[in-house]
Amino acid sequence: MSILNQSIVLVLNRNWQAINTRTPADAFCQLATGAVTALDVDGDNLRPVTWAEWITLPVREQDRFVTTVRARIRIPTVVIVVNYSRVPTRRPAFNARNLRERDGNRCQYTGRVLGPDEGNIDHILPRSRGGRDTWENCVWAAREVNTRKGNRLPAEAGLRLLRAPFAPNELPVTAFIRNAHAIPEWELFLST
């Protein structure tokens, strides 16, 4: 995969809050049209730079760059959207890890804290009866309890939920952005 097509550019809103990632190809297009400014990071010095100035900046030893017929151009690691101040939110993806986290690694029938391999997803209304994979229909349960429950409702199996399942709150998208490429400039804007 070409470096131009990797998501290695962090996007900040105009308040300098992380909201997304982009490919360098997208960042160059947005920079050239004035939709974003690039952030020139030099030690502790952070300076927004327009396209006209960006293409004249020297390429430093640590910089990634593209080569054009005229010159080498640095690939920005962080861009700032000129006219956008919101921080979008989203709900965590429905999966076993997030369900286990929502339920605090506890079996929702016994209250016992479970190790990573001691529990699994239990469908309150079993899939064989039309139950769906949703936050409101699934809980984290001990494997042996889930096996005993089988394709029955909790009451039919003599079980009672400790609390009703719920969809977790939406979180700022910043919580979902990961620095998979270990880009040092991103650490200034991502919470750990």
Residue 77 lies in a domain: yes
Other C-beta atoms closer than 10 Å to the C-beta of 176 total 13
Same structural domain, 122 and 177: no
Residue 167 within any structural domain of the chain: no
Which tokens in the block code for residue 166?
Answer: 């719920």
Domain count of the fold of the chain = 2
Could you tell me if residue 183 is inside a domain?
yes
Tell whether 68 and 10 lie within a shared domain. yes
Q: Looking at the domain assignment, is residue 164 inside a domain?
A: no
41 and 115 fall within a common domain: no
| In a shared domain, residues 140 and 119 | yes
The tens digit of pLDDT for each residue in 40-50 reads 988 778 999 99
We report the CATH number of the domain holding residue 113 as 1.10.30.50
Residues 179 and 147 in one domain: no
Burial of 30 (0-12, 13-18, 19+ CB in 10 A): buried
Q: What is the pLDDT of residue 191?
A: 66
Are residues 53 and 104 located together in one domain of the fold? no
* Assigned domain for 67 exists: yes
135 and 176 part of one domain: no
User: Given this model, what pLDDT does residue 44 score?
Assistant: 79
pLDDT tens per residue across span 90-130: 899 999 999 999 999 999 999 999 998 999 999 999 999 99
**Residue 69 sits in the same domain as residue 44:** yes
Q: Which structure tokens are listed for 102?
A: 């929502």
pLDDT of residue 109: 98
Q: Are residues 149 and 180 in the same domain?
A: no
Same domain, 32 and 84: yes
Q: What mean pLDDT is predicted for residues 30-55?
A: 93
Looking at this protein, which amino acid is placed at residue 45? N
Q: Are residues 149 and 101 in the same domain?
A: yes
- Tell whether 60 and 113 lie within a shared domain: no
Q: Which domain holds residue 134?
A: 96-157
